[in-house]
């Protein structure tokens, strides 16, 4: 899978392709995030436009760890990747190692473990209901002027997520849509 001609995501048994700035090797096993799904592509497309160099980042619901890996390649530091699923936790560890990424703290858990922690950018490619339920936690864990980037929902869910975000002081900066899936970029 290629994203915007800059990022190439491949399985370990596929050859690298010339001309890409970022070559990401992902073996998904039982986890989400191979790059094939529109939401992952939308998140990476947005990541490629952000200034995250030497800034803290959270990949909430990390799946394979693909977003944390791309963020690390873009210079984000430090990075935290969290998922509730044991498969995803283990898979993120393996994929970070496979890509020689060593600045990602990988944890198993949910948004409750974010208490007292603050990030410059939060990525959450999860389903709409989890995003709505955890919006207050994301607000508390995001520094002022920080990026909240959400996906994992349909374009028909956009209005509901924007309305909820306003309750917590988020301002919509950008919207991307691909094959009826959506990504929202908010600034706190």
pLDDT for 37 = 84
pLDDT for 169 = 95
- Interval 8-29: pLDDT, tens: 999 998 999 999 999 999 987 7
Q: pLDDT averaged over the chain? A: 95
Examine the pLDDT at 31 and tell me if it is beyond 70. no
User: Residue by residue, what is the 3-state secondary structure of 101-145?
Assistant: CCCEEEEECCHHHHCCCCEEEEEEECCHHHHHHHHHHHHHCEEEE
- Interval 79-133: pLDDT, tens: 999 999 999 999 999 999 999 999 999 999 999 999 999 999 999 999 999 999 9
Contacts of 98 (CB under 8 A, 6+ apart): 12, 25, 26, 27
């Amino acid at each position: 899978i290629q994203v915007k001609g800059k990022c190439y995501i491949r399985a370990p048994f596929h050859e690298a392709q010339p001309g890409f700035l970022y070559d990401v090797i992902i073996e998904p096993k039982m986890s989400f995030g191979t790059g094939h799904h529109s939401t992952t592509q939308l998140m990476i497309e947005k990541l490629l436009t952000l200034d995250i160099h030497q800034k803290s980042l959270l990949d909430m619901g990390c799946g394979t760890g693909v977003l944390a890996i791309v963020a690390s390649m873009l210079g984000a530091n430090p990075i935290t990747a969290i998922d509730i699923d044991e498969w995803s936790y283990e898979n993120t560890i393996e994929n970070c190692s496979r890509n020689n990424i060593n600045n990602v703290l990988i944890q198993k858990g949910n948004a409750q473990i974010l208490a007292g922690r603050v990030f410059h950018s939060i990525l959450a490619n999860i389903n709409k209901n989890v995003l709505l339920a955890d919006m207050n936690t994301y607000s508390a864990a995001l520094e002022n002027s920080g990026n909240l980037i959400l996906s994992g929902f349909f374009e028909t869910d956009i209005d509901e997520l924007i309305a909820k975000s306003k309750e917590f002081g988020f301002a919509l900066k950008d919207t991307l849509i691909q094959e009826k899936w959506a990504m929202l970029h908010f600034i706190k």
